[in-house]
Amino acid sequence: MAAGKGTVSKLVVDRLGFLYVDTGAMYRAAAFIAKRDNLDFKEHKQILPFLKKAQIDFKIPGEAEKDGRLITVLLDGEDVSWKIRTEEIGQGASVVSQFPDIRKILVKKQQDIAKGKNIVMEGRDITHNVLPKAQLKIYLTADEMIRVKRRYIQLLERGEDVSFAKVYDTLHDRDAREINRKTNPLKIVKDAWVIDTSDLLIEKVIELIVARVKVMQNL
């Protein structure tokens, strides 16, 4: 099995008993709000009031929710776990995440979730913006074409009708936006542990991370 960051995060949580927080799902929720209310993803000023009052929660999937999801995402009490996982919403999330006012609101929500808890928080700006004092900072990376292949297979397994070329363009464009954005661009902080998963099975990645956490916490 490929070592994607979402799957890695969830399996590490299962081993350690921590809370899993997928911050990317929160940006997807913001994009979902825009689509739901017929707003363009670039209309961040119009999205803002809806996002401010939105309640975004995560919970471990129940028996009826064990359908391949990593975590159940609730938006104002509605299960949107799969509704936010389309390519359209993923592209929208990459657009809305460029706006500082949107990011400010979601970062505050993420920090509130993290207070006083043992968590694994997944996202593209966690180590330098959301939780800069985290005990362990990990940067998972992989060869671009391997990442595209993993995403393509994932979407096909969900029954989505997508082409490899479309998945490549979407991932490539998203990376470019996030690396080059003016506010909190994607970067590797100096004290991050960089793990290249290109040639690693997911079991090995999990083993490495869990072992490091246990050493740090003397578990």
Structure tokens at 219: 């578990």
pLDDT over 80 at 4, yes or no: no
Which pLDDT does position 124 carry in this prediction? 81
Position 62 confidence tier, pLDDT thresholds 50, 70, 90? confident
Which pLDDT does position 67 carry in this prediction? 85
pLDDT over 70 at 1, yes or no: no
Mark 26-43 as b/e (b = at least 16 C-beta within 10 Å): bbbbbbbbbbeeebebee
| DSSP string across 80-141 | -TTTT-SHHHHHHHHHHTT-HHHHHHHHHHHHHHHTTS-EEEESSSIIIII-TT-S--EEEE
20-42 pLDDT per residue, tens? 899 999 999 999 999 999 999 99
Report the pLDDT averaged over residues 132-159. Answer: 91
146-186 pLDDT per residue, tens? 999 988 998 898 888 899 999 999 999 888 888 887 777 77
Q: What distance in Å separates the CA atoms of residue 168 and residue 172, rounded to the nearest whole number?
A: 6
The burial class, CB within 10 Å (0-12 / 13-18 / 19+), for 187 is middle
Q: What distance in Å separates the CA atoms of residue 175 and residue 79, rounded to the nearest whole number?
A: 28
84-109 pLDDT per residue, tens? 999 899 999 989 998 999 999 999 99
Which pLDDT does position 3 carry in this prediction? 56
Name the residue ranges covered by the structural domains of the chain.
5-210
Residue at 45: amino acid letter: K
- Average per-residue pLDDT in the chain? 90
CATH topology of domain 5-210: Rossmann fold (3.40.50)
Q: What distance in Å separates the CA atoms of residue 100 and residue 140, rounded to the nearest whole number?
A: 24
Which pLDDT does position 219 carry in this prediction? 57
- The proportion of the chain whose per-residue pLDDT surpasses 90, expressed as a percent, equals 63
Which pLDDT does position 76 carry in this prediction? 95
For residues 83 and 175, which has the higher predicted lDDT (pLDDT)?
83
Report the pLDDT averaged over residues 120-139. Answer: 91
CA dist 7 to 77, 84, 120, 132, 164, Å?
24, 17, 12, 23, 21
Position 46 confidence tier, pLDDT thresholds 50, 70, 90? very high
Q: What distance in Å separates the CA atoms of residue 78 and residue 111, rounded to the nearest whole number?
A: 22
pLDDT over 90 at 2, yes or no: no
Which pLDDT does position 77 carry in this prediction? 94
